[in-house]
Structure 1
Amino acid sequence: MDEIHIWVLSISLILLLHTTNSADEAEKQALLNFYQRLSNGTHPIDPDFGWNASSDPCSDRWNGITCNSGSFIKKVALEGLSFNGILDANSICTLNSLTVFSIQNNSIHGEIPTELANCKQLTHLYVNDNRFSGSLPPSLSRLNNLKRLFLSSNSFSGELPDFARISGLVTFLAQNNQFRGEIPAFDFSNLQQFNVSFNNFSGPVPELNGRFNDTSLLGNPSLCGKPLPKACPPSSPPMKQRSKSRSVERILMYLGYILLALVFFSFIVYRIIRRKKKRESKSNNSKTKKEVVTESKTKASSEYSGYKTGGSRSEFSIPSSTGSGVVSSALVILSKSKMRDLTFEELLKAPAELLGRGRYGSLYKVTFEDETTLAVKRIKDWTISSGDFRRRMEKVDKVRHPNVLPAMAFYCSKQEKLVVYEYQQNGSLFNFLHGTQSEKNFDWGSRLSVAASLGEGLAFMHKELYEDGISHGNLKSSNILINNSIEPCISEYGLMVIDNKAISSVDHGNSYNAICPSPGGPSLFKDDVYNFGVILLELLTGKLVQTNGFDLATWVHSVVREEWTVEVFDKALIAEGANEERMVNLLQVALKCIDPSPEARPSSQQVANMISIIKEDDDRSIVSET
């Protein structure tokens, strides 16, 4: 009886192995068919290329084929091999586990087949730099798992399919084609790369959410709307709406005539009453005039010296004045600034919104009539002379780095010190991590890029301003602003207020001060390194620096000391599958920065170099995966 069971089991295994081998053979034959049509019947000269019936795609490692541990083909990449045939989608989509498909930089012609939509597991599709033509099939919008789509530098025409349906799309490159029609309303809050330049698109540009500038849209003469300089013409209403609007116009016209008659009648009555009053109150007329003049002067003086309290204006005012009571207009426009000519009086009169207030000053958003928006930092109680302040601002202005926000202008008097910046509408790093922007996708790659960019910017500023002794003095995530290119910028560099124990400034939501034993010297730069280390901890943990007695640096030290290092990292990073080794490496950099001994901390240049190595390693891994 046991022998019968063993015999039955053996037969089952043989059948199972035969079925498995048949499936493998089917995929291999499909690959060979795909290859023959792609190469137009030619074969590679190099015998090591593989792709023949006598070998296996996975175990024999065919060129361009990547398999997972279960011998399932997950990637086909035949790039820059001068293929000049056509794309056989029926064959390539036989591979049920295919996630990455790349045939870029060849000479493949013809149209993209409708059947390519059957590759349902595709996450990366690269067909750029070929000779494809014709319209894209609408079925491509059913590739729901697609994250990166490269179509650029072909001869595609027609309208784009509704790729906006693909919610997870992060890269869409379709430049240098002949596409026409309107641009689909992509989810631009998720897109990291987008380019449709040099096509024949027309109509209004969809709302880009400030993520991309005009370089992504150039070469489309019929496109209009921001960020392009060409405004869209007003759309003409339908006939029914036009007839309705004409009726409304007639009614308004008749109402206008009636109102004019009433105004004329009221004016006559007013003149009669005024003439009568004038006769009766000649004796009191001079007194009344004097009171009106006094009231007018008081009102004008009040509006000139500060902002009116009300919904449209904040309590932001600058009471700087000379001995004669005339407001000073010594607003210094920095030489390298592209800001328009601006006077101190214009700054006073423009509506201002309070963004943040701290012990040593406040930050305001100031909006002008031409829709120019500036950020104004107001510092108080800083005992620095006007001459020293001016020299300091001019020295900082001479040092420019893409990741350091430059000042556009400044004002200095005995009572007030103001610094004017370009307003950054995307908010701060603090908001991306903890506040109003925290719901946005802020994955490991984005955080590592922020860390690398900030490290380079800080190291550059330290190197250029070391001899002048000008450090940042108040580096924290709320002082890291995100510009229109979604790049981090260090703001308020060199605007520090010194007391006996700490360097501080305006706080917009988090608070930490580096202990400063002296108001100058190398220790100031080491304090910047400490605070940069705390920012790295924020990026890694996603936690606030200080809240309800919790101190981030102390907590991280305690967790690492107990050898629970993985517990430190933000759960969102763990969930996305971020590389733990590289996160640990960045954590080690942060721990070096927050060493209690300033002498033991690395320099900002050493920190930047360490983060750069981690990022290069991360970039290489991304390239190898795709």
Structure 2
Amino acid sequence: MAVVPKRFVVWPAVLVVFAAMLLCRYRVHSEPTQDKQALLSFLSQVPHEKRLQWSESDSACSWIGVVCDPTNSSVYYLRLPGVGLVGQIPPDTLSRLSQLRVLSLRSNRLSGPIPPDFSQLKLLRNVYLQDNQFSGEFPASLTELTRIVRLDLSFNRFAGPIPFSVNNLTHLTGLFLQNNAFTGKIPSIAPPGLTDFNVSNNRLNGSIPSALAKFPASAFANNLQLCGGPLPPCSPFFPSPAPSPSLPPAAISTHKKNKKLSTAAIIGISIAAGILLLLLILALIFLILRRSKKKETTKVQKPPAIAASRALAEAGTSSSKDDITGGSAEGGERNKLVFFHGGGYTFDLEDLLRASAEVLGKGSVGTSYKAVLEEGTTVVVKRLKDVAAAKKEFDQQMEILGNTKHQNILPLRAYYFSKDEKLLVYDYMPAGSLSALLHGSRGSGRTPLDWENRLRIAQSAARGLAHLHTSSKLVHGNIKSSNILLKQDNFDSCISDYGLNSLFSNATPPNHRVTGYRAPEVLETRKVTFKSDVYSFGVLILELLTGKAPNQASLGEEGIDLPRWVQSVVREEWTAEVFDVELMRYHNAEEEMVQLLQIGMACVAIVPDQRPTMGDALRMIEDMNRGGDTDDGLRQSSDDALRGSDSQTPPTESRASPPGVTP
């Protein structure tokens, strides 16, 4: 038998390895040909803006909004929000993307029903179709996609019933159907992981299933006749009549005797009720006479309260005049408001007690009332709760706040302190808060907040906060959009609720509901600093740019907080998806938006020392390239905001500007 030389044995193995290398190289540089043709077919049949340009000569994996798998053999993600898509989704186009995981077509003008062939997208996990004009019944094809985790069909024109087949989506964690025209009853939807749910602003009726009663009332608001669960209980239309038992003949005589006894009992009860009613009337007359006599001796005109009795009831309190005035043990001085520099007001505490009022809101430090005095003056009275500071410490802090003056800081006009009541008096700002303006109803008839005014609000708020830090040496401690109040004439903003943290135990007000604004170190130490204010201001900038509230549940695909959501989107190099859809029309301001986004991201750095100071943040905003057509008010120098301080740096804080920020 002939012996084969070794060199001939090695060659087949070398050829196999070489072929494998060629195959790997081919796969790495492969092209998702079928998916590419499906996308081109979709784009050719759907009108769209010119900004979405897919070149057939380029790889589909390099197109805007398209993300492929690591081998570039399939399309995994298709994100086309706010790109001006118009009309219906043609069949046999997107349904051919068999490996698709995420589909985002939100904020376009797509219409008509969802194609039935969407049922072929078996691997789809996240579907975002909100803010379009889709119509028809609930898409039956989507209920066949059992791997869906989050489904958003809100702000469309879907109608008809919500099908029970939604329960096929056993992995569902978020279902958003608000602002459509769904009718009928809500089926018992109970996927085990469902944490976010909203069917508000539809035409639903009937009782809310017990499986959905865990969600807040706002998730079911503005429907026809929903009841039960978080809403008021359902009332039966036809109460069951009481049974009328039939008596055997032998018991007829006994029944007659019982009937006579019952009549006698009824007469006795009637006599007793009459006597009791007479006693109640006499007692009521006695109380009225006694109260009238007391009024004459004390000359009290009406039951005192900081606001109308109805407002106090809503606040959950029941104060007497001794509660408000602190009694007479410590003298008449406790009966007075302490004013700062007059403020143009001439009322006293008694005038405030007689004012008509309404609750404006309940915050983390207390309840705010709009009080209209008898002479027509309108002020805001904040009733603090759970104050731990003693009177001396309280007076000292109020002196600091009352002497803080800046055009972008809401002035404290007066305060009142007693054992049971602590009141602060501010000017009333009829234009309301940034939170209400930014997150109010976005339906038809709403005037969008444009880019110029958003930038003006951010800049004026930065001026006020920088002045607090540098001139007054005050930490705000509670920056959020509801504490940014707007001037009615020019959209300048004023910051409110500043410098109150030191009045409460553990430095941070109890029961704080706005963790989305809180810096990571504050959540651990419960101590606010200048740098934690900068973090909160950075979140505020991101809120202005994205239009998203930091504490909303459906913030992003993963339900993460606002800074992390923005970071994840920017990291995927799809920055346009970050910005509020209401800003998409300002194409000439895209560079400025990106600059402000960079400043906001610098402010929300995890490490406090890597954040800029508020003075630096203000300078970066004012150094943005605004062009030659900007009014002088918006270009005011940051030195004006910092004027009055010997040092431009808050005490014990670093001014180091974080790397990677391009003003």
TM-score (norm 1): 0.48
TM-score (norm 2): 0.45
